[in-house]
Amino acid sequence: MSTIVVTKDNFKDEVVNASEPVLLDFWAAWCGPCRMVSPLVDELAEELSGKIKVGKVNVDEQPELAAQFGVMSIPTLAVLKNGEVVKKSIGAKPKSAIKDMLGL
């Protein structure tokens, strides 16, 4: 499954009501480290399809969601289960570290 663009309008349906854990990638187009993490997140979305849902939140377009999650630096990755944040990571990480966050 590919990544989902998460907005304040689809947040409840895509994230809160998700039956599987959700990895949210908070990013911006101008952010160099975000561009390094993005392909890794895309790969995990494909590899772990059916096990997790992966969403991307553009902080410039969705400042309400960024504020809701207390995102002050990007990239920020958050793992949510039942709509609650269970893990959060700030900064660029290798793929293995992102996978470890997911507990898989």
Residues annotated as catalytic are 31, 34
Phi, psi of 92 (to 5 degrees): -70, 135
In single-letter form, the type of residue at position 71 comes to: V
